[in-house]
Structure 1
Amino acid sequence: MTQAFPQHFLIIDDDEVDRIALKRRLRAMAPKAAITEAASPLDGLKELENPSIECVMIDYDMPFCNGVSLVNSIRHTPATRHLPVIMITGTDEVAVAVEAIQQGADEFLSKADVNETTLGWAIHSALNRSELRREAASREAALRSFAFHAAHDLKSPLNGIVGLANVLQHTMDSLPAEARPFLAKIEEQGRHMASLIDNLLAFADTEQSPAEFEPVDLTAAAQQAASLLDADIREAGAHVTISDLPKTRGHAAQLERVFTNLIQNAIKYRTDAAPQIAISAEALGDQVRVDVRDNGIGVPDHLRERIFNPLDRGDADDDAGHGLGLSIVKRIIETHGGRIWCQPAPEGGSVFSFTLILLREA
């Protein structure tokens, strides 16, 4: 599989000397190629709006943001998801290379090893991986279409079963009393299965088909999520505080879903005290970290990673939930070029933190 050598490169690196050195190498290999430079991840994202970019080279270590977050954003933006991306770093640590490749980089080079031979190999390899990714995406799109149609076909008879069980419970006076709990269970399990189908589709769709990113007011997204959960909040006697949050680029409905799921979790996993939920943010260079803090039962140390795994409900022994809520949240955040983690709150409870690209006002 061979593709034409790229004729427009984008270099994203905060070190001007390193950009000049890489630019010189590329000029020697492709004298007529256009080379665009960006000194920060945010500037890089702006340059990526240019559809003529054919290959991206990203520094791993930049202030307040490593290149992996930027790779995530590139991979999950429709216009750039198939671009060849090469991570070039000042280290040759295997762990860094593995992280870069796992998160979407096509190739990895240490700055100390960059020469025309290694760079040429990395570019051609990245081009081949990009083509394979395009082919895989086409097959995945066909599979997703099948899954959505299959889900619709599954839910139609399921909704009929749930509806008939409900009718039987309320219209058959002669139904033996001992039979009524079984009908209630049929209805409950049917609704549970329908919800599971919806959540499985949502889990798949968050990564595979993100909409074109637009400016998103995170304060408005959090407020809308709280408004949608107003009945649950009032029933639990919860109090939700939302500080002024900045803007980011993304999918408003998906980010609203992040806040919805995190608020729901804080209400569900509460102590006897009324839930206190505080949403705040802190700017970190080109990124923003959003914290959703609660006073609930907390998350044990051994579960803080597991809770983000699909269908893993940790040590929960109740019937509510499918173990997909936090998995969906994690996938949404990653499609927006960020990451999410959980840590204990100093006063008890949990803090769910996630990062996003900060959209600064012009």
Structure 2
Amino acid sequence: MRDQDKTKDVLIRELQVLRAKVDELKTLEHKCLVAAEQLHRERASYEAIFESVNDAILVLDMDSGRILEVNRKGLEMFGHPPSRLKKMKLEALGAEDPPHGGEDVPGRLRAAAEAPQLFEWLVQDRAGRRFWVEVNLKRALMSGKDRILAVVRDIQNRKAEEERLRRFAAELERSNRELEQFARVASHDLQEPLITIIGLLQLLARKYAAGLPPKGREILDRAEQGARHLQHLIQDLLAYSRVDAARAHPEPVDCERVLGQVLEALDGSIRESGARVTHDPLPRVTGDPSLLFQLFQNLISNAIKFRGEAPPRVHVSAAREDGRWVFSVADNGIGIAPKDFDRIFDIFQRLHPRRKYPGTGIGLSTCKKIVDLHGGRIWVESEPGRGATFRFTLAGGPGSLPA
């Protein structure tokens, strides 16, 4: 009887263990079903994304570069049926001329195994249409296997726009060169007869002005003034057109020396106006010395010209900022209204009547062109009646501030 009881107890325990295992198996089965459902949802989500993106996506065998999977956009982009496209290697999509679209695709695939690759590539669709794409190659683990994921974006419109802009820029450059050449030739050809006219007017004034009535002498004076203004205009136009001719001649320039030469050239107007021009130590920069001479001369002569009641005071300085030199030419003149800060750098723009402040309206536009040519920028800080400070930036040269 005891043996029977023992056997019964063993069977009950074994049955309990078996029931626990069955419950465990059911729990595991439920987890598997949940995981499978989750995997199915994720797969469906992945496929939805894979098919809906607006770029072609190709899954490639990492060793051979053969196309294993391609999305809807990829089929539309290249025009091949899925059965054919999935037998092709990525490099076969390159244009025929140049061979493989001019790109070492197998080399790119090998490199993509180590680091992502981004490049532009000329490809060809089934109908023979050639177009530019941007290709992004990246290594990816998919279904436990190493693959190369290629994301291909059609950039034909962008490349066409870039080419249009390149041609437009080239045409604009050619047009500018022709215009500058015309300005040089026209200005040179105009100077000779103008010099003759001025000479004849001066001769007329010397010999016959005494016999002319006051109105006649006034007309003669105005004619000579107009001729001289035209002469200055032609000279300024010539200076403006010469700026681009110096673009290929940058060299180290000592700004201390350039400023000294400018002050010698302006000695007459400095003495006449009672101006005092001071300066801090100035650096060496990289540029064209003749253009920088013209830049300083224009700014300092303007500071002397546009003066108020007090004698002109001009100070030139330079400070290092963010790897570049910022030059300042400050004066105590009549100042400039903020609304005119941009306009004064446009060619032929004048803020004051010529009879009060003579000039051609080309000087500051020439300054801007010179600074632009040197890769810098120029601007003004001012208030009416409180003077003006013109600032411009230049790249530093091989030296530093003088000792």
Q: TM range, normalised to the smaller chain?
A: 0.5 to 0.7
2:351 partner SS: coil
**Bigger CA drift: 347-356 or 225-234?**
347-356
* CA–CA separation in structure 1 for the residues paired with 2:308 and 2:174: 47
What are the within-5 Å matches in structure 2 for residues 44-55 of structure 1? Answer: none
What is the CA distance between 1:209 and its match in structure 2?
A: 5.2
What amino acid is aligned across from residue 347 of structure 2 in structure 1? Answer: P
Task: Give 2:362's aligned residue.
Answer: 324
The structure whose RCO (Cα within 8 Å, separation 6+) is larger is: 1
User: Do the aligned residues in 2 keep the contact of 1:293 with 1:345 (CA within 8 Å)?
Assistant: no
- Matched-pair contact (CA < 8 Å) for 1:222–1:242: no
2:222 maps to which residue? 185
Q: Is the 8 A contact 2:337 2:383 kept in 1?
A: no
What residue ranges of structure 1 are gaps of 5+ in the alignment? 8-22, 31-114
| TM-aligned CA distance change 1:142 to 1:350, over 3 Å | closer
Question: Corresponding residue for 1:146?
Answer: 182
Q: Where does residue 319 of structure 2 map in the other structure?
A: 282
- Partners of 2:288 and 2:250 in 1: CA distance: 5
8 Å CA contact 2:324–2:396 kept in 1: the answer is yes
Q: What secondary structure, in the 3-state scheme, does the structure 1 residue paired with 2:282 have?
A: coil
Contact 2:371 2:393 in 1 (8 A): yes
Q: How far apart are the structure 2 equivalents of 1:200 and 1:124?
A: 37
1:216-251 deviation line (CA, Å, top 9, x unaligned):
112222221111101111111111112111122111
Matched, 1:170 2:170: no
The equivalent residue for 1:354 is 392
Residues in 2 aligned to 1:314 and 1:252: alpha-carbon distance in whole angstroms:
30
Q: Judging changes above 3 Å, is the alpha-carbon distance between structure 1 residues 356 and 285 closer, same or farther for their aligned structure 2 residues? A: same
1:258 counterpart = 2:318: no
**Contact persistence 2:335–2:385 (CA under 8 A):** no
2:284 aligned residue? 247
Q: Which runs of 5+ in 2 are unaligned?
A: 1-97, 104-114, 122-150
Percent of pairs with identical residues = 33
Number of positions where the alignment pairs a residue of Structure 1 with one of Structure 2: 259
Instruction: Indicate whether 1:306 and 2:343 are aligned.
Output: yes
Please report the RMSD computed on the Cα atoms of aligned residues, expressed in angstroms. Answer: 3.2
* Of 351-360 and 165-174, the range deviating more from structure 2: 165-174
Alignment of 1:60-79 (within 5 A): none
Q: Find the counterpart in structure 2 of residue 210 from structure 1.
A: 247
Provide closer, same or farther for how the CA distance between residues 246 and 346 of structure 1 changes in structure 2, counting only shifts above 3 A.
Answer: farther
Q: Residue 208 and residue 119 in structure 1: after superposition, are their counterparts in 2 closer, same or farther (change >3 A)?
A: farther
- 1:334 match: 372
With normalisation by structure 1, the TM-score equals 0.63
**Candidates 254, 262, 270, aligned match of 1:225:** 262
Does the 8 Å CA contact 2:334/2:384 hold for their aligned counterparts?
A: no
The structure with more helix, counted as a fraction of residues: 2
Q: 1-side partners of 2:352 and 2:221: how far apart? A: 26
* Contact map agreement 1:309 1:327 (CA 8 A) in 2: yes
Question: Matched residues in 2 for 1:316 and 1:174: separation?
Answer: 30
Q: Once the two structures are superposed, what CA deviation does each residue of 1:319-357 show, in whole Å capped at 9, x if it has no partner? A: 610111111111111111111111128993111111111
Which structure would you say has the larger Rg? 2
CA contact (8 A) 1:270 1:296 kept: yes
CA contact (8 A) 1:29 1:116 kept: no
Q: Structure 1 301/24 Cα, relative in aligned 2: closer, same or farther at 3 Å?
A: same
Q: Secondary structure at the residue paired with 2:201?
A: helix
Distance in 1, Cα, partners of 2:248 & 2:291: 9
Partner of 1:156: 192
Q: CA deviation at 1:151?
A: 2.1
In structure 2, give the amino acid aligned to 1:144.
E
Which whole-Å CA distance do the structure 1 matches of 2:248 and 2:372 have between them? 14
Inter-partner Cα distance in structure 1 for 2:102 and 2:339: 46
Task: State whether residues 305 and 357 of structure 2, in contact with CA within 8 Å, keep that contact through their aligned partners in structure 1.
Answer: no
CA distance in 2, matches of 1:212, 1:229: 25
For 1:150, the aligned partner's letter is A
Question: 2: distance between equivalents of 1:294 and 1:359?
Answer: 27
- Residue 19 (structure 1) aligns with: none
Superposed counterparts of 1:93-108, under 5 Å: none
Q: Letter of the 1:306 partner, please give it.
A: R
**Preserved contact between residue 219 and residue 243 of structure 1 (Cα < 8 Å):** no
Q: Over residues 261-284 of structure 1, what are the superposed CA-to-partner deviations in whole Å (9 max), with x where a residue is unaligned?
A: 111111111122221111001101
Q: Specify the alignment match of 1:72 in structure 2.
A: none
Q: TM-score, normalised by structure 2?
A: 0.57
Which runs of structure 1 show a deviation greater than 4 angstroms over 4 or more consecutive aligned residues?
4-7, 23-26, 115-128
After TM superposition, give the deviation of residue 316 of structure 1 in Å. 3.8
Q: What one-letter code is carried by the residue in structure 2 that aligns with 1:352? A: F
In 2, distance between residues paired with 1:25 and 1:253?
A: 47
- State the distance in 2 between where 1:288 and 1:166 align: 47
Distance 1:164 1:122, change over 3 A: same
* Residue range with higher mean Cα deviation, 276-285 or 130-139: 130-139
Separation (CA, whole Å) in 2 of partners of 1:314 and 1:213:
33
Seen in structure 2, the aligned counterparts of structure 1 residues 116 and 151 have a Cα distance that, compared at 3 Å, is: farther
Paired residue type of 2:311: A
